[in-house]
């Protein structure tokens, strides 16, 4: 209530995001944050329980940003375009906001938490579900090979995350445009399969129980 223009929690959060995005996780301290906000460190504790709580709020922002990138997919008219746009959103977010990407996928303990706050985990589930839905409708449309959408989406996720991770850590050069090409070409290989033509014949009929249900956290 009152003047939302000067909500202290909001000011702190905004500065916290700036600070994290510019200095990274290691360079993120309560003292530095206080300086950025323009108050002294103890004042922060009136609004947040401590460093961990602030970082959780920052992470929440990261999830919100990521969500906005992914949800663009729903505006496209066909299943294939929706899947494709979701993939573009994923890559755009990863490349435009590497620090946010990093905080989302770093384990909770790296942030000093034992587990993620529930609401954040819920956002992760929603994103994951949207992705699974896109895969599922592409299967029904005959664009993706039949299978369990969860399984297929895991393979796609791992492939994308692996590439992004390797690039961010400097193992694939520094040229963003070159990386985008690599990403796209690798995606085509993933769709077509790395095995030779008869690989399918050998393995398509393999033990195809609904696959020991893999409990994914997100």
Partner DNA sequence: GTCTATAATCCGATAGAC
Partner DNA sequence: GTCTATCGGATTATAGAC
Q: Which residues bind its own copies (CB under 8 A)?
A: 105-108, 142-147, 151-152, 154-163, 165-166, 168-173, 175, 178, 181-182, 185-186, 188-197, 199-200, 203-204, 206, 211-212, 214-218
Q: Does 85 bind DNA (CB under 7 A)?
A: no
Q: Does 15 bind DNA (CB under 7 A)?
A: no
In sequence order, the 6+-apart residues with CB closer than 8 A to the CB of 32 are 19, 23
Q: Does 31 bind DNA (CB under 7 A)?
A: yes
Distance CA 210, CA 197 (A): 25
Torsion of CA 57, 60, 61, 62, to 10 degrees: 120
Q: Does 51 bind DNA (CB under 7 A)?
A: yes
Query: Are 44 and 37 a contacting pair, CB within 8 Å?
Result: yes
Q: Does 113 bind DNA (CB under 7 A)?
A: no
Minimum CB distance to DNA, residue 71 (Å):
33
Which residue of 4, 42, 170, 207 would you call a contact of DNA, by CB under 7 A?
A: 42
In sequence order, the 6+-apart residues with CB closer than 8 A to the CB of 119 are 60
Q: Does 126 bind DNA (CB under 7 A)?
A: no
| Angstrom distances, CA of residue 83 to CA of 25, 72, 119, 131, 183 | 32, 10, 26, 8, 15
- Phi, psi (deg, nearest 5) at residue 171: -85, -5
Minimum CB distance to DNA, residue 105 (Å):
22
Q: Does 181 bind DNA (CB under 7 A)?
A: no
Q: Does 30 bind DNA (CB under 7 A)?
A: yes
Contacts with DNA, residue ranges (CB under 7 A): 8, 28-32, 39-43, 45-47, 50-52
């Amino acid at each position: 209530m009152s003047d939302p223009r000067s909500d202290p929690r909001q000011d702190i959060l905004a500065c916290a995001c700036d600070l994290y995005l510019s200095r990274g996780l290691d360079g993120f301290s309560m003292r530095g944050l206080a300086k950025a906000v323009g108050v002294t460190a103890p004042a922060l504790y009136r609004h947040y329980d401590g460093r961990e709580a602030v970082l959780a709020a920052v992470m929440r922002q990261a999830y919100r940003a990521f969500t906005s990138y992914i949800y663009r997919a729903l505006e496209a008219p066909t299943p294939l375009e929706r899947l494709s746009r979701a993939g573009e959103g994923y890559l755009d977010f990863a490349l435009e906001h590497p620090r946010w990407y990093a905080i989302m996928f770093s384990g909770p303990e790296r942030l000093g938490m034992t587990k993620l706050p529930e609401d954040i985990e819920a956002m992760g589930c929603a994103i994951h579900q949207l992705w699974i839905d896109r895969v599922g409708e592409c299967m029904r449309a005959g664009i993706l090979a039949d299978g369990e959408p969860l399984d297929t989406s895991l393979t796609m996720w791992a492939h994308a995350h692996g590439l992004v991770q390797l690039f961010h850590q400097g193992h694939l050069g520094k040229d963003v445009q070159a990386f985008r090409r690599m990403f796209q070409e690798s995606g085509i290989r993933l769709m077509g399969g790395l095995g030779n033509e008869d690989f399918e014949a050998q393995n398509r009929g393999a033990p195809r129980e609904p696959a020991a249900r893999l409990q994914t956290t997100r």
